Amino acid sequence: MKLAGKTAIITGGAMGIGRVLAEGLAAEGAHIVIADRADAESAAAEMTAAGYTALGIACDVSSEEETMNMAARTIEAFGSIDVLVNNAGIYSSLTPGPFEAQTAEEWRNILDVNVVGAFLCCKAVVAQMRSQGGGRVINLSSGTPFKGVPYLLHYVASKGAINAITKALAKELGGDGILVNGIAPGFTLSDGVMANPVQLEKLKDISLQARTLQRDQVPADLVGAAVYFASEDSAFVTGQTLVVDGGAYFH
């Protein structure tokens, strides 16, 4: 129960990686806030039925108004914001293809959610974390910017930005006792990915072959890293991005 009495917000927590992270942090005693554009309330109800303490809040992370509401409702319900997991993002719906076929509109949409969304969520919670004397921000990145993966340039660029934000924000918030770290998964068989046959065909086998640990990666493989960064185990660690990909990239 490393997170007993703590409150953790997981954006994009209604399904996929976010849902598994929410359940993993809840299993360590955290009060969970699932913030998602769809199904947040039903996901929280399912977690509550399973014996966890959870609240669902409808939230589009690209909206400053909705992220501020997310923070306010969390404080109202639980009195604190100890952990923010910036998981919401656009990936599983994408089809790999040459960069020149991508449109500026697609780029802006991905950057609005993946990058601006993380910024807005951090902005929404930072005052509360400061008032408490500290907190934890965990940014979900990707192994793709480390490896230079082709045919997903807009997504790779967005996650490269998240890596930079993690470092810069750690410097800016360290004096407030707010630690900022990142988790960079490899190709993970999340709910969304499993529903995208093009991604599975193009990326599943090649990702598996690149790994030192020769098996598929699943969302549960990320829980340990999230608990580590959310707990006192990482009390002297900030500005770091941990690659969790079965040894495909040594970082």
User: Does residue 123 fall inside a structural domain?
Assistant: yes
From CA 17, how far away is CA 11, in angstroms rounded? 10
From CA 25, how far away is CA 33, in angstroms rounded? 11
User: Does residue 2 fall inside a structural domain?
Assistant: no
User: Does residue 251 fall inside a structural domain?
Assistant: no
Number of domains in the chain: 1
Enclosing domain of residue 12: 7-244
Residue 209 confidence (pLDDT): 83
Residue 92 confidence (pLDDT): 82
Stretch (H or E) spanning 17:
helix 16-27
From CA 149, how far away is CA 59, in angstroms rounded? 30
User: Does residue 249 fall inside a structural domain?
Assistant: no
From CA 15, how far away is CA 102, in angstroms rounded? 27
User: Does residue 185 fall inside a structural domain?
Assistant: yes
Question: Is residue 210 pLDDT above 90, yes or no?
Answer: no
The residue-averaged pLDDT of 111-132 equals 98
From CA 187, how far away is CA 248, in angstroms rounded? 10
Task: Specify whether 155 is catalytic.
Answer: yes
User: Does residue 99 fall inside a structural domain?
Assistant: yes
What is the percent of the chain with per-residue pLDDT over 90, rounded to a whole number?
84
What is the CATH number for 173? 3.40.50.720
| pTM above threshold 0.75 | yes
Which strands sit side by side in the sheet containing 178-185, from one edge to the other? 54-58, 31-36, 7-11, 83-86, 135-140, 178-185, 241-244
Residue 27 confidence (pLDDT): 97
From CA 9, how far away is CA 88, in angstroms rounded? 11
User: Does residue 105 fall inside a structural domain?
Assistant: yes
User: Does residue 85 fall inside a structural domain?
Assistant: yes
Q: How confident is the model at residue 189 (pLDDT cuts 50, 70, 90)?
A: confident
User: Residue 135 in 3-state DSSP?
Assistant: strand
Residue 95 confidence (pLDDT): 87
Question: Is residue 125 pLDDT above 90, yes or no?
Answer: yes
**Candidates 52, 151, 155, 249; catalytic one:** 155
User: Residue 203 in 3-state DSSP?
Assistant: helix
Answer yes or no: are the C-beta atoms of 43 and 35 closer than 8 Å.
Answer: no
**What value does the mean pLDDT of the chain take?**
95
Q: Pick from 209, 99, 113, 80: which is nearest to 148 by CA?
A: 99
The residue-averaged pLDDT of 12-37 equals 97
pLDDT tens digit string along 30-57?
Answer: 999 999 999 999 999 999 999 999 999 9
Residue 202 confidence (pLDDT): 73
DSSP class of residue 204?
A: I
